Amino acid sequence: MIKVGIVGGTGYTGVELLRMLIHHPHAEVVVITSRAEEGLRADELYPSLRGHLDIRFSHPDPAVLARCDVVFFATPHNVSMKMMPELLELDTRVVDLSADFRLRDAELWSQWYGEPHACPQFLTDAVYGLPEFNREAISGAQLVACPGCYPTSIQLGLLPLLENHLVDPMRLIASAASGVSGAGRQAKIDNLYAEVSDSFKAYAIPGHRHLPEIEQGLLDIAGTEVNVTFAPHLIPMVRGMHSTLYAEIIDSAVPLEELQNLYEERYADEPFVDVLPVGSHPQTRSVKGANTCRLAIHRPQGRDTIVVLSVIDNLVKGASGQAIQNMNIMFGIDECAGLETVGLMP
């Protein structure tokens, strides 16, 4: 069995890791840490775990975590980077769900996160954990930086177009909406029920922290510079993400059917990407609780703008499910292990 440690197990991504790892056939959670909840049983904080898990939160100790085969960081930014040097020195394998190692440029990271990076020497060693593009590198990685939710839905949606140089990489638009769980479990006025219910709003239009990650990932896919206009929105639901992506096709003679075939062929062997038939409109509820990204490709009025619709569960394929998918790849086991949950309907 793979011995698993989780740092920061009290948030939504932490409890999602627990929910999926409980029934993982090849993994067992042996350490879960929280400074604030040290000594508390996990099922006291999350009653949904009663009868499934009797582990208690403990203080994060790198020496204890190093006894695990893999450690997940389900923490806010600037936490994992402070513990990473010691863990990597002890040959621990890590899957980091935070933003600390997603960007390769330390100055760019500091620009967006407002502080110096604590261990920039590891930024270029970290492997970006988007399995559909980076599977081979993930398999041999010691440190995997799990992608953010917005970047996952956007990169998977645009990947076939950019990989085949079919659209203008300098004219990309992503309009995406996330459920409120994407903001984490902290108490914030903007996330109160009375503030978000019966409302819909854009936010961070001048610049969202996921933008440099999106552009870095799309640059790797396209092999050339990209320019993305990114407009995130908050939608009044707990979980789910819908990205509407716009790209300008270079050769207007390429028919929609050819693009559809391209997507179907590119993702034919990807267990967690589902390309819907022509004319479809994927819904977030179809992927709720599942490690699935559903895509649909459109070409409105036959014009030169390609519209890709991409839906994921922001806490699963956008976070904890993808993290477990990365772990499976790292340890050479069935990539689908522990992740075959069907979406919840209704």
- CA–CA distance, 215 with 77 (Å, rounded to integer): 19
Backbone φ, ψ for residue 145 (5° rounding): -95, 105
Strand, coil or helix: 126: coil
Q: Do 231 and 154 form a contact (C-beta atoms < 8 A)?
A: no
Q: Which residues are catalytic?
A: 149
**Orientation of helix 210-222 relative to helix 149-163, angle to 10°:** 20
Q: Alpha-carbon torsion 160, 163, 165, 167, what sign?
A: positive
Token pair recorded at residue 15? 């409890």
CA distances for 194 relative to 107, 189, 293, angstroms: 38, 9, 30
Q: Do 23 and 38 form a contact (C-beta atoms < 8 A)?
A: no
Please tell me whether the peptide bond between 255 and the residue prior to it is cis, using omega within 30 degrees of 0.
no
Q: Do 143 and 160 form a contact (C-beta atoms < 8 A)?
A: no
DSSP string of 264-300, one letter each residue: HHHTTT-TTEEEPPTT----GGGGTTSS-EEEEEE-G
Q: Indicate the burial class of 270 (C-beta count within 10 angstroms; 0-12, 13-18, 19 or more).
A: middle
